[in-house]
Structure 1
Amino acid sequence: MATHQALPDQPPPVSQRGLLRWLRENLFSTWYNSVLTVVIGYWLITTFVPLINWAFIQAVFTGDGADACNPDGACWVFVGQRLGFFIYGFYPAEFRWRPNLVFVLFAISVVPQFLPLSTTIRKWLAIFGITGLPLAAYFLIAGGHFGLESVPTSRWGGLMLTLILAYVGILAALPIGILLALGRRSEMPVIRGICVVFIEFWRAVPLITILFMASVMLPLFLPDGVTFDKLLRALVGITLFQSAYMAEVVRGGLQAIPRGQYEAAEALGLGYWRRMRLIILPQALKIVIPGIANTVISLFKDTTLVLIIGLFDLLGAVKSTLSDPAWSSVMAEGYLFVAFCFWVFCFGMSRYSHRLEKQLETGHRN
């Protein structure tokens, strides 16, 4: 009697596994997806191959000046020679260790938020970033205290100024925006009316107009002998402008909280501020993390507008350098450098917001 022996399992066909399967399922699943893949692939090849050749293969990275550049490639010598100005502006070279120390403190407080460290460590570093870092940055960069020579804000510039404007604007706009959002939902007509007028006024005026008014028109209305630093006026304008947008983002989160949460908090006998601090605001802010991140990124990019009032941020520093006839042919390299710097910071803020969303996810999704 014949016996039947089971054959060993055979691997699936080549077209059903590995790279070929991934290509068939993701790029060539249907005829129109295949056509779209071919068209996009052709566009990427014809666009990025010449770009890579220009930016890296034919590029010049070292040299003594514009004469070392290759006309067929990018001249990164320009960025290398002016990097100090792009980062610090007119800040004295002998005092640059002070902003460098602030950059180190900034990295110590921010970078661990992206690492799998304990919650306690990240919490205390975040508290330091909110409280101690701004004070340390002021005393170190501005000087005039503890034996440090004073450096006027007119000499601040570059990436350092961009980070100062963005960081201070973010730290100030968020709490003001929360208070405005609570005020707009207040049951007191006077408080609600003031907050509505404030929010709608600042949202209706372009930021460039606010900066211009703060820099040029505001001194005309001040008493004789009373002056405000130009950087301080810009910080106030940016903060008030962004706080109005932040208020609407937070208000959206407050409206998304079910009425039962408010009633449960009242049933516990909690006062208004304790209800908001312990129950309502934590839930509302968690819901609107994407909106807050979007507002923060928008604020960071809007700092480039301070160029119109004579403050040389990163973009302004690069623009002023391009006016030099010796570097008139490296405009693309300068703006690509600015774009890359802004992309790094904006992408980092975006990834951090996604991380926060995952950490605070409590199963509300269906």
Structure 2
Amino acid sequence: MTAIDLDGPRTAEPSLGAVLAMLRRGLFGSWFNSLVTLGTVALLALLVPPLLRWLVIDATWSGNAADCRAGDSACWAFISAKIRFILLAFYPAELQWRPVLACALMLGLLAASALPRCWRRELAIAWPAVIIACWLLMAGLPGVIAPVSSNQWGGLPVSLIIWAVCFATALPLAVLLALARRSNMAGLRLLSIAYIELMRGIPMVAILYFAMLILPLALPAGQSMDKILRAIIMVTLFWAAYIAEVVRGGLQAVPDGQREAAATLGLGYWRIMQLIVLPQALRVVIPGLVNQAIGFLLATSLLAVIGIFDLLNAAKASAADPAWLGFYDEAYLFVAVIYFAFGYGGSRYSLWLERRLNRS
């Protein structure tokens, strides 16, 4: 009996000479490529040295605002002084272990969710449990944990929790919307199309203003809802429409013959979707889902328009401190590095997951 190679066919690694020859052809294979290469090198030689001097060589790494203003380079002493505010905003200093622990729990949950070996029923139970635990840590519980108003929340925990909760909640809603849009029931299909097209035609800023100004008016008299909870509900409904179109593309990629074959074996609609169609469809749209997730993480910066101190808004406010007024470049660069770490890590994970799931 012949052994089956589950990793698929192996290709020989290219030699160093082959790699150098490929680079030479790509960089200097024609007069146009050579011109572009030389122009790029000249531009980098012009821009990189002064940028390195501003960022590293002549930068101020310690001291106060006066020391920074005495020079003409980056002031990383500002980041050292304001890093707690940038990451945690107005949360009480003596209780900042709580948002730090909430971030650790959420990041741990995301890491577990990224590993295929953890894709079990226990993970589905862990998501609401961790979300509730993070909310209780941040908000407190009268008589048990000191309450903290959501007006004092901000920074990385708010951006991370809102992003993770909204995306995790929007994904199952998006799957249902995509299935409804491909349904044979005309009424259900039209309702799904109307919802998706309506949400995709409205800017996210308008959705956030709706959550802040209109949604409270729809509540019964005397009832109120936390503004972060309102933002989570509306952003989830908004993102579900975009993810639904990504999932629908995956559903269309699954051949109809597989559904028909499963139906002839006696499987019902939901079992066919669960066991045959959705596993293949979601595998196809992994790049699109990761792209949407990264875009949604960056879109959390729009929460500032309704007064929620997300990571970017906290960085902006930190540079408005009279003692450190004006160091916006350093604040934005620091936040950009954090966003880049999440975005680049997500793209690398997407490539790894594609390779793993596409093995023969």
> Normalization by structure 1: what TM-score?
0.87
SS of 1:82 mapped into structure 2: helix
Which of the pair has the greater relative contact order for Cα pairs under 8 Å at 6+ separation?
Answer: 2
Q: Work out the CA distance in 1 between the residues paired with 2:291 and 2:152.
A: 31
Contact kept in structure 2, 1:108 and 1:125, CA below 8 Å = no
Q: Residues 103-182 of structure 1 correspond to what in structure 2 (within 5 A)?
A: 103-111=103-111, 120=117, 127=124, 130-144=127-141, 147-182=144-179
Q: CA deviation at 1:19?
A: 9.1
Q: State whether structure 2 residue 87 is matched by structure 1 residue 90.
A: no
Structure 1 match to 2:78:
78
Structure 1 match to 2:43:
43
Q: CA deviation at 1:22?
A: 6.3
Q: Work out the CA distance in 2 between the residues paired with 1:135 and 1:174.
A: 19
SS of 2:28 mapped into structure 1: coil
Find the structure with the greater CA-based Rg.
Answer: 1
Structure 1 match to 2:342:
345
Worse-matched range after superposition: 164-173 or 120-129: 120-129
Q: Residues 244-263 of structure 1 correspond to what in structure 2 (within 5 A)?
A: 244-263=241-260
Contact kept in structure 1, 2:109 and 2:127, CA below 8 Å = no
> Which structure 1 residue ranges, 5 or more long, are not aligned?
1-15
Q: Residues 1-366 of structure 1 correspond to what in structure 2 (within 5 A)?
A: 17=17, 21=21, 24-63=24-63, 65-69=64-68, 70-111=70-111, 120=117, 127=124, 130-144=127-141, 147-362=144-359
Indicate the RMSD between aligned Cα atoms, in angstroms.
Answer: 2.3
1:78-118 deviation line (CA, Å, top 9, x unaligned): 1111111111111111112122222333343344677xx8x
Q: 1:123 to 1:151 in 2, by over 3 A?
A: same
Q: CA deviation at 1:133?
A: 2.1
Q: Work out the CA distance in 1 between the residues paired with 2:201 and 2:21.
A: 53
Structure 1 match to 2:12:
none
SS of 1:27 mapped into structure 2: helix
1:264-308 deviation line (CA, Å, top 9, x unaligned): 110111111111010000000001111111111111111111101
Contact kept in structure 1, 2:158 and 2:311, CA below 8 Å = yes
Q: Work out the CA distance in 2 between the residues paired with 1:120 and 1:286.
A: 16
Q: Work out the CA distance in 1 between the residues paired with 2:149 and 2:187.
A: 41
Q: CA deviation at 1:72?
A: 2.0
Q: Work out the CA distance in 2 between the residues paired with 1:49 and 1:129.
A: 49
Q: Work out the CA distance in 2 between the residues paired with 1:286 and 1:42.
A: 43
Q: Work out the CA distance in 2 between the residues paired with 1:128 and 1:43.
A: 53
Structure 2 match to 1:5:
none
Contact kept in structure 2, 1:207 and 1:241, CA below 8 Å = yes
What amino acid maps onto 2:78 in structure 1? F
Q: Work out the CA distance in 1 between the residues paired with 2:122 and 2:44.
A: 42
Q: 1:257 to 1:353 in 2, by over 3 A?
A: same
1:49-98 deviation line (CA, Å, top 9, x unaligned): 211110011111212x2112153210011111111111111111111212
Contact kept in structure 2, 1:139 and 1:145, CA below 8 Å = no
Tell me how many residue pairs correspond in the alignment: 344
What amino acid maps onto 2:285 in structure 1? V
Q: CA deviation at 1:20?
A: 6.8
Q: Work out the CA distance in 1 between the residues paired with 2:121 and 2:341.
A: 25
Contact kept in structure 2, 1:177 and 1:250, CA below 8 Å = yes
1:209-257 deviation line (CA, Å, top 9, x unaligned): 0101110122234332021111011111111110000001101111111
What amino acid maps onto 1:98 in structure 2? R
Structure 1 match to 2:5:
none
> Normalization by structure 2: what TM-score?
0.89
